[in-house]
Structure 1
Amino acid sequence: MNTLKNIDIPNQECDFCKELSEMGLRRISLPFIPASSHQINNVMKALRGRTGKLIDIGSGDGRITLAAARNGFQAYGVELNIWLVLWSRWTAWRSGLHKQAKFFRKDLWKTDLSIYQNVVIFGVESMMKPLEDKLDQEMLPGTHIVACRFPLPSWQPVLVCGEGIDSVWLYVVPQQYLNIDTRS
């Protein structure tokens, strides 16, 4: 049985991270809001018993990616803000997780998600429908998707963990969500 490892979260109001997010280095206007320890624990609960590759879309300062690495995933974070990517890489190195957690400066809309068995997204409400369309095109049956803060608008979650802003919705990609031509 996969048990959750204690998650050591740096100060939630990390001055360095706050300064990075205020520098306006993002190409799109998604704010960097660090995940709380409750949110991280809810994500890990939703993924309990899972293994494989995990991608954290919009990984910010890397908290989710690092927690996933601590819990046995080969974890990848993609983020547009280069300073947050560098901070995440340094944090992974400092905590000895640099082999299990990798961070890349990459646009989520240009990232192939089909190679991952687990996807985590902390998005804003306005991006959830376009993201749902991308997931519909790229995900394989059985992929676990955890949406944080906002649910996917058309999909039915199999599990909801937490309440309010700490809520996460778990979706398991079934065949009927996929836009795949099954004709031979």
Structure 2
Amino acid sequence: MMEQELMQSISVGKEATSKTTALVLAGITGGIGLAITAVCIPFVAPGFRRICLPYVPATTEQVKNILQALKGRSGSLIDIGSGDGRIVVAAAKAGFQAHGVELNRWLVYYSRIFALAQGLSSKTYFFKKNLWKFNLNKYDNVVIFGVEEMMDELQEKFKSELKPNCSIVVCRFPLPNYKPIVIIGEGVDAVWVYETPLK
């Protein structure tokens, strides 16, 4: 009888341990799934906006072409949709007081850490803001990697907000209604340079 009670007690103990283990594993799996979702949402969310502006890192050639387009310029610079911050950091190295505006919180954090690691945190700043609600009127230079669907609206924003003699460096797609001063590079690495007032 005592042996049977002991066996039952061991069986109940094993069952309780199995349930606890299953609950712990379910909690860990759920936590990992939630963490992955939280990290991925900012990268997937742009696809659900009115104008999808995905994160596509600039190539080394594109950065080189942008810096060439800015040669002889100085002052403040804003990179609209600054992504991982590589253009802002390159501009700061070239002597600009460089800012980036980016909607993706994780890319803003990454950019700030990247600038800090390069010793440029005092010459850079990254805003977590919507570019359509961000005023550009204090900047001497603007860089944008846009998509075709946004360029009409963007050129209107430039016309209403940018001060005279502001240099605009446009990557991937040109402004549809204005003639660039110069085009540097070819294909996806090409940049179109404009100056305000737009003509």
TM-score (norm 2): 0.76
Higher alpha-carbon deviation: 84-93 or 135-144: 135-144
Correspondence list, 1:22-37, <5 A: 23-26=43-46, 28=49, 29-37=52-60
Partner of 2:36: none
Q: Identity across aligned pairs (percent)?
A: 51
Measured in 2, the distance between the counterparts of 1:25 and 1:36 equals: 23
CA displacement at 1:23 relative to structure 2: 3.7
Equivalent residues of 1:21, 1:32 under 8 A apart: no
1:113-139, Cα deviation, whole Å (9 max, x unpaired): 010000000010100110001101111
1:5-59, Cα deviation, whole Å (9 max, x unpaired): xxxxxxxxxxxxxx86874244632110000000000000000011100000000
Equivalent residues of 1:20, 1:83 under 8 A apart: no
Measured in 1, the distance between the counterparts of 2:130 and 2:72 equals: 29
Partner of 1:13: none
Is 1:65 aligned to 2:88, yes or no? Answer: yes
Is 1:119 aligned to 2:139, yes or no? Answer: no
Equivalent residues of 1:54, 1:116 under 8 A apart: yes
Listed as ranges, the gaps of 5+ residues in structure 1 are 1-18, 178-184
Secondary structure of the structure 1 residue equivalent to 2:175 = coil
Segments ≥4 residues shifted beyond 4 Å: 19-22
Correspondence list, 1:5-154, <5 A: 23-26=43-46, 28=49, 29-154=52-177
Supply the AA of the counterpart residue of 1:141. P
Measured in 2, the distance between the counterparts of 1:115 and 1:122 equals: 20
Question: Higher relative contact order at CA 8 Å, sep ≥6: structure 1 or structure 2?
Answer: 1
Measured in 2, the distance between the counterparts of 1:32 and 1:70 equals: 23
RMSD across aligned C-alpha pairs, in angstroms? 1.6
Supply the AA of the counterpart residue of 1:165. V
Partner of 2:28: none
TM-score (norm 1): 0.82
Partner of 2:14: none
Supply the AA of the counterpart residue of 2:116. W
Secondary structure of the structure 2 residue equivalent to 1:24 = helix
Supply the AA of the counterpart residue of 1:93. L
Larger Rg: 2
Listed as ranges, the gaps of 5+ residues in structure 2 are 1-38
Structure 1's 156 and 21: CA in aligned 2 closer, same or farther, altered over 3 A? Answer: farther
